[in-house]
Structure 1
Amino acid sequence: MAYEDFLTDCFGELQKMQDDLNKAYDINSFTSWNYDQPSGIITLSKPDKTINFRYYQVGTYSTASKTWKWSWDNENTSKNVVVDIEKIKGFGIANNYENLINGEFPSYDEIGWELSSICCNLIGGIGVYRPVVDHLKIHIVLTELIDNDLAEREKTKYVDCENHERRRRAFICQHLKEGSKNGFEESFETFEDMEFEYEDDDFVAWCNECEKLRIKEGGLSEKCWEEGKFKIVCEKCYFKIKETNT
């Protein structure tokens, strides 16, 4: 199928999708937005209401340079929300659709809506939201509405780190530092960027001395947490400490 024909089909589907999205949530009535890239949650607010969606970022159109940039080609986009490059670029290569292959290229204002419609077709979504920051039009595909309480719980699982920006939280006892050689005990084996098996899982580590108390207590009890004076660090810091203590 020619690219133009495929795009026409996708764009028609998106128009219907946007109508349904606006009927369900009156999306254009919200006056402010904030997205949390590490958790993949965007929050839309107005004086009397707040709603949250999961999302992925398609890319940005710059009105200054008149160029389109896919999220996979943007180092400022968290990998948690980058569009699925294998599905989009792979499809582009298979069908010789250049706009799905090149990471950045000169283009026109409506390109973001067009490419977002293709992403909705190939990956899925319930509609598109397009906030603007300075000269950048950011194209975001919303994938599902989530409960506000759940959104807040998920966002609290991430912390701002002065060295590594915003990342997943982790807990370590007071004795663990880079190169401290105090041992590194965990509830389960971990590796960086792993997917947790359960929603309530966290990275938690303690030293050899705290392990003695844990064994005596028969588990990581409240006393262990109190005497170990556990603190929160980011995931990146956690694995740097792990690397130098094992």
Structure 2
Amino acid sequence: MRNKDYEEYASKKYDELIESQEAFNSKFKLESYSNWFYDQESELLRVYNDDDDEIFFKYIPIGTYSLKSNTWLWSWENEHSIEKNKLKTLVVKQLGEKRDYEKLTKGLIDCDREECWDFVAISKSMINAIGVYCTNSKDLLTYKLLTKVFTDKDSSLIRMMKQKTVDCGNHGFRRPAFVCKHLNHKEKLGFEEAFDTHKGMDLDDEDSFAAWCDECEQVRLETDGWNEESEKFADIKLVCEECYFELKEFNKK
């Protein structure tokens, strides 16, 4: 009986979502934009075309769906979701606990892709939002509630977002960073940087996060700086900004 009650509730909220989303799409015409990028720290989504026609939205992450495992993961359960406002989705979990709707209380759920929209619809009915958006990256769908249009296009948040990005399998789209091949999470090797850094900092166009281990620094000094020999020893690799600061936290002495 409870399951039937949930199905009826989810169906009603889905119908409401379809109606509101049609009005949202009619106003903002997001289907006309070919690119997207979101920044977890600032909780901003950018949808844009190559000619810099763009719109920015503040968003709340609702959950992700893996096309490989056919599972839904609520954002409040997702350790890779660093958005602070994801905790707003706990109201959905509280509703599930109150009404005994298991699919709203379990962090990880086996389900069909179509059912994700039920979860999004229920979330939107409980959290104030103007629309929804789904991104697809490496077989992972990420569902977001869009809460408002962000109009301050001169802000440092937007300048940071529009810098070159890398698609990280663990952290999504983030700014690129570069580290030597030796840095890892198993053995502390030291952490030498091109300049002092902190997460979320603004970078000049010519700057990038770059770091190497103590052994690389010794080779660099012995060979009079970065050159063919020292660069070959370091064998620099590309990572994302989030990976960079995880390595920094682990390796610094």
**Normalising TM by the smaller chain, what interval?**
0.5 to 0.7
TM-score (norm 2): 0.60
Aligned equivalent of 1:35: 38
TM-superposed CA distance for 1:86, in Å, is 3.0
Secondary structure, in 3 states, of the residue corresponding to 2:76? Answer: helix
Indicate conservation of the 8 Å contact 2:75/2:89, yes or no: no
Structure 1 unaligned spans of 5+: 170-235, 241-246
Superimposed CA distance per residue, residues 160-218 of structure 1 (whole angstroms, 9 cap, x where no aligned partner): 8999984478xxxxxxxxxxxxxxxxxxxxxxxxxxxxxxxxxxxxxxxxxxxxxxxxx
Indicate conservation of the 8 Å contact 1:37/1:81, yes or no: no
Root-mean-square deviation (CA), in Å? 2.8
Structure 2 unaligned spans of 5+: 162-173, 180-190, 192-196, 203-244
1:86 matched to 2:90? The reply is yes
TM-superposed CA distance for 1:118, in Å, is 0.5
Aligned equivalent of 1:128: 132
Secondary structure, in 3 states, of the residue corresponding to 1:110? Answer: helix
Secondary structure, in 3 states, of the residue corresponding to 2:38? Answer: strand
TM-superposed CA distance for 1:154, in Å, is 3.8
Aligned equivalent of 1:26: 29
Measured at CA, do residues 83 and 10 of structure 1 come closer, stay the same or move farther in structure 2, by a change above 3 Å?
A: farther
Percentage identity across paired residues of the two chains: 26
Indicate conservation of the 8 Å contact 1:38/1:166, yes or no: no
CA distance in 2, matches of 1:87, 1:45: 32
**Map 1:82-231 → 2, pairs under 5 A:** 82-149=86-153, 152-155=155-158, 166-167=199-200
Runs of 4+ in 1 over 6 A off after TM superposition: 157-165
**Map 1:227-246 → 2, pairs under 5 A:** none
TM-superposed CA distance for 1:140, in Å, is 0.9
TM-superposed CA distance for 1:9, in Å, is 1.6
CA distance in 1, matches of 2:145, 2:115: 14
Q: Which amino acid aligns with 1:78?
A: I
Superimposed CA distance per residue, residues 113-167 of structure 1 (whole angstroms, 9 cap, x where no aligned partner): 11010010011211111110011111111111121526x3344699989999844
Measured at CA, do residues 18 and 136 of structure 1 come closer, stay the same or move farther in structure 2, by a change above 3 Å?
A: same
Secondary structure, in 3 states, of the residue corresponding to 1:64? Answer: coil
CA distance in 1, matches of 2:87, 2:116: 13
CA distance in 1, matches of 2:31, 2:152: 19
TM-score (norm 1): 0.62
Name whichever of 78-87 and 17-26 sits farther off: 78-87
